[in-house]
Structure 1
């Protein structure tokens, strides 16, 4: 196992009614004027917004609002938030929503402390700047999936071609996150299950790595995957099943908390995210849906082109799906089939065609997926390999 340093600076307030700590906790972190950021306004319909304002009032906090942050958040919303924060003398950011709002607010938190354009702060930008200071940030999670409430990264959509850019730094871990499973009761079924697919992919992309002696990480990971598989259908059956919602919410947070399941492993790759972002860029497709569409095809491609890693896929099949096949190749294929059946059970599209993707777009998406270099960890993915995976998923 490789050396590692592990730190999660975010405090999680998990459970019913935890919003009661909001106002005073912001004050304890030095906040007095808050940039309150949210998406399309569902928090005004489900009562969260009013509760937040009550908390602000009791703590004597002033606030300004940034509303309308889009799914697959645009850099323009980030720039608007930076301007609002500066022009109104804010000293704290509260992100309320799912991963899109949280990711946008991480970029805002970095951008308000940087004199140049926020684009300079994205990973891999030519002449990119280093993040050295950020505004204090807290989150209230209303949709489980991205894990942004307990990690240091975010994804922002930039430019006319809707390219996905990553912002990442340990300073971008939220100071605290309020995780109340009841706040996810009203999330539409489609988006709840897309979040499930996102969680599962985060877990799998940390699991399918070159085999090292990181047994604790992998066995913990398997346990979280099994919980996701067991409890997602319970939410479909009863959207207000508190325990199922709680388990899925905590799985979302734990999947990327300090990237704990990659500790001691050799790389930080996430090739499925690299490909999936191109589907979101081209079609504004929900992020988790892109991952559900691509994962089985990527697994089969990797199993075929890098057969030395078949034992990892077979172990996944046996330990997560309880496959009892002794032959590794057969066990691994059974695992893929079980995963596809799960995606079908949670009502994900069966293939790219069903999701509305046009075959003539596959080549361009494959090119864009690797424009910053090859993807992959178990097997390298250049343009040709990505195109093979897209065609297999089509």
Structure 2
């Protein structure tokens, strides 16, 4: 097992009615004037906005709205939030929403403490994060795990390229996770969130060095198995509290300080790299892009790294209950189970059905690998990425 550091400073209030902890938690971290960041207004329609504002008012905490944060949050929305925060002399950011809102809030938190443009602070930028405004989240959609990690994804202006921002200062100070807040999330986004969470776990599982990380692997398998069990329950009954609770907690745990990738050789999240390009070009929902590319990625990777057949077989048996003694047969069946799971969640069956033109596949492969190979068990360069897109096309 490789050496690693592990750090998750975010405190969590999980369960029904935990919004009552909002104001005391904000005050604990010195918040007196909050910038309330949220998206297109669904939190007003479902009553969550009123619950949040009422808690702030009862505690005499001032607030100002920063609304309209879009999915796959563009940097323009981040810049708007930075301006609102500064103009109103805020001292705390509260993100109420899903991954897009929380990601945008993280970039805002870094940006308000930086003299230049916030794009400088992205992973490929020229700036450095040395300070950040305190932030917290009230989660309304499970999937990304942004409520319990230090990273975010922002859409830039050039080719709508996805950029990451990451720093320990960007961990939320606290996150409130009430599964009932996810009851009204539309089916499409609920299921996309379920697959997003599953794919985070897959990205941390199929990584070189996994032969020495039994603890990480076995804990990961348990979370994946829980998502496979509970996602169809959410689909059947959106107000199944326990199913929603298990999905919410599994998605939060999936990326908590990348706990299931620690001790391994490292991963640059290849399936996400390929999915991000679909979102950039087609503004496609993130979890859906992952559902489209993951089976094809796993299939190609298995063919390139036969020495890891055992890992694919363990995945098949321990997550999907495959009963097959031969490792290679079990591995193939496990990949088929992933594809069947995407269809069970009503994901598009292939890229063609999702509206992707075949003549765009080479462009997508080029953009996915423009900063280098993206493999985790083997090198995935443009040629391999193109093959994955082709397999996912039809």
TM-score (norm 1): 0.98
2:335 corresponds to: 336
Render the CA deviation track for 1:231-259: whole Å, top value 9, x for unaligned: 11111111000000000000010001111
Render the CA deviation track for 1:296-323: whole Å, top value 9, x for unaligned: 1001100112212111111111111121
CA distance in 2, matches of 1:341, 1:386: 22
| Structure 1 counterpart SS, 2:260 | helix
8 Å contact from structure 2 (residues 205, 260) kept in 1: yes
8 Å contact from structure 2 (residues 2, 263) kept in 1: yes
CA distance in 1, matches of 2:34, 2:196: 30
Is 1:248 the equivalent of 2:244? no
Render the CA deviation track for 1:147-178: whole Å, top value 9, x for unaligned: 00000000000114110000001111100000
8 Å contact from structure 1 (residues 106, 137) kept in 2: yes
Is 1:123 the equivalent of 2:123? yes
CA distance in 2, matches of 1:5, 1:341: 36
1:73 corresponds to: 73
| Structure 2 counterpart SS, 1:130 | coil
CA shift for structure 1 position 218:
0.5
Unmatched 5+ stretches in structure 1: none
Q: Give the 5 Å matches for 1:299-314.
A: 299-314=298-313
CA distance in 1, matches of 2:271, 2:134: 31
Is 1:111 the equivalent of 2:111? yes
| Structure 1 counterpart SS, 2:259 | helix
CA distance in 1, matches of 2:10, 2:329: 42
2:51 corresponds to: 51
TM-score (norm 2): 0.98
1:164 corresponds to: 162
103-112 or 306-315, which deviates more: 306-315
1:37 corresponds to: 37
Render the CA deviation track for 1:42-72: whole Å, top value 9, x for unaligned: 0001111111111111111111111110000
1:8 corresponds to: 8
8 Å contact from structure 1 (residues 9, 175) kept in 2: yes
1:141 corresponds to: 139
8 Å contact from structure 1 (residues 27, 59) kept in 2: no
| Structure 2 counterpart SS, 1:13 | strand
CA distance in 1, matches of 2:369, 2:336: 28
8 Å contact from structure 2 (residues 203, 267) kept in 1: no
| Structure 1 counterpart SS, 2:328 | helix
Render the CA deviation track for 1:324-382: whole Å, top value 9, x for unaligned: 21222111110011111111111111100011111111111111111111111211111
CA distance in 2, matches of 1:209, 1:298: 13
8 Å contact from structure 2 (residues 145, 251) kept in 1: yes
CA shift for structure 1 position 263:
1.7
CA distance in 2, matches of 1:110, 1:337: 42
CA distance in 1, matches of 2:211, 2:251: 24
50-59 or 97-106, which deviates more: 50-59
Unmatched 5+ stretches in structure 2: none
1:176 corresponds to: 174
Render the CA deviation track for 1:167-226: whole Å, top value 9, x for unaligned: 001111100000000000000001000000100000001000123311011000000000
CA distance in 1, matches of 2:298, 2:53: 47
2:99 corresponds to: 99
CA distance in 1, matches of 2:332, 2:5: 35
Is 1:200 the equivalent of 2:216? no
Correspondent of 1:132 among 100, 114, 130:
130
The count of aligned residue pairs is 392
8 Å contact from structure 1 (residues 181, 249) kept in 2: yes
